[in-house]
Chains A and B, each alone.
Chain A
Amino acid sequence: EDQVTQSPEALRLQEGESSSLNCSYTVSGLRGLFWYRQDPGKGPEFLFTLYSAGEEKEKERLKATLTKKESFLHITAPKPEDSATYLCAVQSGGGGADGLTFGKGTHLIIQP
């Protein structure tokens, strides 16, 4: 059974204070690891897809990396608008979409 664990559960940072969010996973054959951002009362917003160990992707102040056991979402010089819950999900197995397995998320608060 696929498992995804995110840490920390909550993180409070000052504006400009860089940090990293962790996503550890156990899957039988990783097909893709996905990062989403979710604001209160809204659906998850897609950020990145990573497919193989060593892969990195960047978007504005965010950078996602992937190893064989975990993924990191690095946030550089965050702003208050980066406050949200960040979700990590994995897709494993065969060719069909068996359904994403999500972690519980990291609730990030950026204080001005």
Chain B
Amino acid sequence: KAGVTQTPRYLIKTRGQQVTLSCSPISGHRSVSWYQQTPGQGLQFLFEYFSETQRNKGNFPGRFSGRQFSNSRSEMNVSTLELGDSALYLCASSFRGTATDTQYFGPGTRLTVL
């Protein structure tokens, strides 16, 4: 069974631009969560989608948004990029998105903001 895939793997943007990252979950998984990983803060939860609806959101500004499609694929968007947005963005999928479900992570997208 194929794992979680993320595209692109690497991105370089400049301040003020916007970026869209894509995630394809494991086949049959309906929940997709997004996390930001930085050396200083570690892994932090951004938001979670299930059946095309955002169910939960972490403590991030409104510049961070996402959506999920009917095939469970998900995208996240960051508008008006800041230097501090440089990070590894990780997508994780789980079967039902319940609190006891295991989340499986993709390889991440490395975003560098110049």
Contact = CB atoms under 8 A, between A and B. Distances in A.
B55 interface: yes
Interface of B: 4, 6, 31, 33, 35, 42-48, 50, 55-56, 58, 90, 94, 97-108, 110
Interface stretch (A18-26, A60-68, A71-79, A97-105): A97-105
B51 to A, nearest CB: 12
A96 B96 CA distance: 9
B interface SS class: strand
Contacts, number: 81
B43 A91 contact: no
A43 B98 contact: no
Contact of A31 (B100, B105, B110): B100
A50 B42 CA distance: 22
A24 to B, nearest CB: 15
Contact of A96 (B43, B44, B97): B97
B13 to A, nearest CB: 19
Contact of B99 (A41, A44, A92, A104): A92
Interface residues on A, range: 20 to 34
Given A31-B99, A91-B100, A99 B56 contact: yes
Contacts of A101: 45
A94 interface: yes
Interface string A30-71: 011010100001111110010100000000000000000000
A43 B106 CA distance: 6
Nearest to A6: B42
A49 B94 CA distance: 13
A31 B56 CA distance: 16
B42 A103 contact: yes
Given A41-B110, A43-B6, 10 more contacts: A31-B99, A32-B102, A91-B99, A93-B99, A96-B48, A96-B55, A96-B99, A97-B98, A98-B99, A99-B35
